[in-house]
Amino acid sequence: MTFTVNAALAARGFEVSLSLGPAETVAVLGPNGAGKSTLLAVIAGLLRPDSGRAAVDSRVLFDLPANSAGTWTAPHRRGTALLAQEPLLFPHLSALENVAFGPRSAGVAKAEAREAARRWLAEVDAADLEERRPGELSGGQAQRVAVARALAANPGVLLLDEPMAALDIQAAPLLRRLLKRVLAGRRAIIVTHDVLDAYMLADRVIVMEDGRITEEGPTREVLRRPRSSFAAGLAGLNLVSGTVTEAGIRSAEGLEVAGQHDAPLTGGQAGVAAFPPSAVSVFLDEAHGSPRNSYQVTVTDLEPHGDQIRVRAGDLSADVTPAASADLGLVPGLRVYFVVKAAAVAIYPA
């Protein structure tokens, strides 16, 4: 049982073929204008392609042979649900009524629909918000209710268009953890610019550029060994996977990374430490001082990165100014210390 879509839209230079397994989440990455939102709009029925075919299991969403009228299923009959950057809740309805809207539209009795809505609000940690209207909710609360509304419709494919983009720095990690839980065992496509969304939520990553898929594969493989220029830019984030310790993460190679986390983590569970190259300082000698992680590494490559120099050392990287690179005498093969403060490292469950 799978989801498949093949679609072409000449006016946008769009031509994509994609399939999902029965319990697979795929992250779609790419620069602005690459066709990511076009893909979701075609699947959701908001945009009609010139030709192509899409089906969820045995339900045909559209079948449009070139130069023929073909079959086109209305958006509300597709069995898909689209979660956008903004919650787009009905302002005149309570949170409970918003979530019950999907089941009610499918013909479910009012009492049964409201009961289902309460279950989904509880699932997204929003049970106490059921009587509030959207104007009384924070951005994070409203987006949690929007997630519940999407899931209450029991979609065959859940479509997420940068759901964390409009949230503040406190609300985004909470929603990311929530999505990790509710997407388990569910078919979903998430469009995102955030490599952490892909790493934490997706089984597979596809990279779109100029309306085409230019790279795809298992999430870890694409992020660790990118082949497209866009994925290479995203992959600059330092990611160290391993097991959770009292201080942070210990990798299989024995690398200890201390960091911060905003959710309870259990020692021994799988986790990942994430920190940007801009947070890494480079020294010729071991540094001492405030709580920090210090690693002796061998420089493997130097490359321009905007107005900085990206210093690569195996799977780790640091950004330094050209002047600092010259002062340190950085060249491939040189042994240096990469140092990053624990406060700059985020620890997440894997």
The pLDDT tens digits of the residues spanning 185-238 come to 899 999 998 888 888 899 999 999 999 998 899 988 887 666 666 776 676 678
Is the pLDDT at 265 greater than 80? The verdict is no
pLDDT computed for residue 55 by the predictor: 96
**DSSP state string for 74-117:** -GGGSSEEEE-SS----TTS-HHHHHHHHHHHTT--HHHHHHHH
Q: Angle between the 139-152 and 171-182 helix axes, to the nearest 10 degrees?
A: 10
Phi, psi of 193 (to 5 degrees): -105, -5
Query: What span, in angstroms and rounded, lies between the C-alpha atoms of 279 and 294?
Result: 12
The pLDDT score that the predictor gives to residue 350 is 62
Report the pLDDT averaged over residues 112-126. 93
Identify the band that residue 291 occupies on the pLDDT scale cut at 50, 70 and 90. Answer: low
Query: Same fold for the domain at 3-234 and the one at 238-349?
Result: no
Q: What is the mean pLDDT of residues 27-37?
A: 93
**First-to-final CA distance of the chain:** 27
pLDDT: which is higher, 320 or 254 = 320
C-alpha distances out from residue 217 to 163, 305, 318, 336, Å: 22, 25, 26, 33
pLDDT of residue 2: 87
Q: Which CATH number fits domain 238-349: 3.20.20.70, 3.30.360.10, 3.40.50.10860, 2.40.50.100?
A: 2.40.50.100
Strand partners, 19: 4
Q: Is residue 161 predicted with pLDDT exceeding 80?
A: yes
pTM of the model: 0.74
Whether 24 has a pLDDT exceeding 90, the answer reads yes
**What are the residue ranges spanned by the domains of the chain?**
3-234, 238-349
- Helix 110-123 and helix 95-105: axis angle, to 10°? 120
pLDDT tops 80 at residue 292: no
70 contact partners, CB below 8 Å, separation of at least 6: 62, 63, 64
pLDDT number for residue 225? 66
Q: What is the CATH number of domain 3-234?
A: 3.40.50.300
Residue type, 163: P
- Which structure tokens are listed for 84? 């956008």
Q: How confident is the model at residue 274 (pLDDT cuts 50, 70, 90)?
A: confident
Provide the H-helix boundaries in the chain. 36-44, 95-105, 110-123, 139-152, 171-182, 195-201, 219-224, 229-234, 322-328
| Per-residue pLDDT tens digits for 319-344 | 999 999 999 999 999 999 999 999 88
Contacts with 193 (C-beta within 8 Å, 6 or more apart), sequence order: 29, 162, 165
Instruction: Give the pLDDT confidence score for residue 262 in this predicted structure.
Output: 67
pLDDT band at 348 (very low <50, low <70, confident <90, very high): confident
pLDDT of 131 strictly over 90: yes
